[in-house]
Amino acid sequence: MANTENRKCTDITVVKLVLETASPMAINSGLREVGFDNQLVRDVNGLPTIPATAFAGVWRHLATSTLANKLDIDHYFGFTSKSQSNGAIESAAARIVVSNGRILDSNNQVVENYQSPEKIADDPILSICLHERPMYRERVSINDRGVAKDTGKFDQILLPKGIRFALTIKVKQALNSDLDLLLGVLNDKRFALGSSTRNGLGQIKVVNSDVININLAEGIKAGERLQSVLSQPCSNNNDLAKPQYHTHTLGLLATVPLQGLDYWRCGRGSELLGSVPSSGSVGIMTYSETCVRWVDNKAKVTERIPVFCGSSIKGILAHRIAYHYRRHTDQWAESMATASHDDWQTRPQAVNELFGYATDGQQDDDGAWLNKGQAGRLVVLDSIINYDPENITIRTHNTIDRFTGGVRKGALYSEELIYQPTFTVHVYITPGEALPIELQHAIRDTFDDIRLGMLSMGAGSGRGSSAVQLQSEQTMTFNSHLLGE
């Protein structure tokens, strides 16, 4: 518990931040765009924003999980609770006040409210973000038979990687030691916003930051200084990069440098990486997306870059780890001969807790949740695909009618493939209790499969277009001690 006597009621610390999305981000309003399953949160200009509640919620959650035994979390974030003795409501206001995150334009300037539509449309970054779907990914959940689960297909609207937001935090009555701990949480790699953060989405990084202490007891001078600080943009420094603000709570479980064995593809994109063929169209393409890059505080939109999405990698790992876990716990197919299809596609509980799960929100008669969803412990990031633009090919497929020997109607299609691309898979694990020994063995066996080239990583595994091997002269790193040994 922190010492409240040492806090000065006149002290206030202002923290100004410039955040950049280090991966695509899906911070949603809870509504849906037409034709899609989610909608981005937007400000009065119609531009995406980071709600203060979302930022403060993630901050409080991580602070509680890592600092609850070191400082009074309720003192800084406030609370409302019901007294067990007399049922009275007890509450206290938060000492931390967070503003909404406001988007920056391509010149690194904060976009003020009520800007004209013409001015927003003229900016290359804002014009993209103004679109109802700046970018999107198709998501699908695969069942035990290798096809999409019922209701397992959906589309997710995202903000591109590289979008910047400005945000201000005011902290009142904070001990210096408490403040250092709280601000250090902002450098936690788990500090991600929006949905699907365990699939690599919502990763943010602090680009610039100022930490300014003001003593309001100085009277009108302090008031003028506070007003000046709040009205000025954040400097180009990064005070949070100083050693006292560092934190390391997410472990790098594995780094796997891979290369396609032959022609290779992942995901399902909407635009070709190469030139348009003479036939005019291609049915299946590798997933690719644009992002924003900053040079000297000027933003530019890149060309499309192929990406092996973290959700795809995580799905492949989940299926193989579940297979090995069943093998290590003697769960054989023969014992499930009469099991239903739902039983076949239900993952073992230990694997479920490792990868996380959602529920339908069932409640008992008293309103208590019967089976809450749980975030997984594995975090899998997107992998950027490196390839030679000269080595792209279009492969045509068809299906032969078994009776006539001719091509089946509607079964002729083509796909764009990349020759021997390289990429690196990064898998992190959050701290916690040791995993069951059988699950530890299953995880090791899965990464051994990858190292030996026995696990397809990509799409079209049935056609051999996702076979991979370790990159030449590269080695896989695997930190098995993070599993709980």
Q: What are phi and psi of 404, to 5 degrees?
A: -95, -20
Q: Is 289 exposed, middle or buried (0-12, 13-18, 19+ CB in 10 A)?
A: buried
Closest CA to 196 of 311, 291, 289, 317: 311
Min mean pLDDT across 163-177, 366-380, 447-461 is at 366-380
pLDDT at 422 over 70: yes
Mean pLDDT of all residues in 2-8: 49
Alpha-carbon span 214 to 345, nearest angstrom? 58
What whole-number percentage of the chain has pLDDT above 70?
95
More confident residue, 81 or 383: 383
Higher pLDDT, 367 or 299: 299
Report residue 305's pLDDT band, with 50, 70 and 90 as the boundaries.
very high
- Residue 8: pLDDT band (50, 70, 90) is low
pLDDT of residue 2: 43
Given a cut of 70, whether residue 466 has pLDDT beyond it is yes
Rg (CA), the chain: 25
Q: How far apart are CA 128 and CA 45, in angstroms?
A: 13
Across the range 64-74, mean pLDDT stands at: 90
What average pLDDT score do residues 266-276 get? 89
Res 392 pLDDT > 90: yes
Query: For the residues 285-310, what does the mean pLDDT come to?
Result: 95
Confidence of residue 163 (pLDDT cuts 50, 70, 90): very high
Q: What is the DSSP string of 326-347?
A: HHHTT--GGGGTT--HHHHTPP
> Residue 144: which pLDDT band, with cuts at 50, 70 and 90?
confident
Residue 62 CB partners (closer than 8 Å, separation 6+): 185, 188, 190, 191
pLDDT, residue 281, reads 84
The pTM score is 0.90
Residue 86: predicted pLDDT: 76
pLDDT at residue 7, rounded to an integer: 53
Mean of the per-residue pLDDT values of the chain = 90
pLDDT at 4: 47
When pLDDT is averaged across residues 195-212 and rounded to a whole number, the result is 94
What per-residue confidence (pLDDT) applies to 5?
A: 47
Digit-coded pLDDT (tens) for 216-233: 888 899 899 999 999 999
pLDDT at position 476 is 95
**DSSP output for 331-394:** --GGGGTT--HHHHTPPPHHHHHHHEE-----B-TTS-BSS--EE-SEEE--EEPB--TTSEEE
Cα dihedral 199, 200, 204, 207 in deg (nearest 10)? 180
Cα–Cα distances in angstroms (integers) from residue 90 to residues 56, 79, 85, 172, 322, in the given order: 21, 8, 12, 21, 46
Mean pLDDT computed over 88-95: 88
Q: Please state, in angstroms and rounded to a whole number, the distance separating the CA atoms of residues 294 and 161.
A: 11
What spatial distance separates the first Cα and last Cα of the chain, rounded to whole Å?
31
The answer, yes or no, to whether residue 146 has pLDDT greater than 50, is yes
Only one residue has tokens 């009275």, namely 88
pLDDT at 261: 95
Evaluate if residue 3 carries a pLDDT over 50.
no
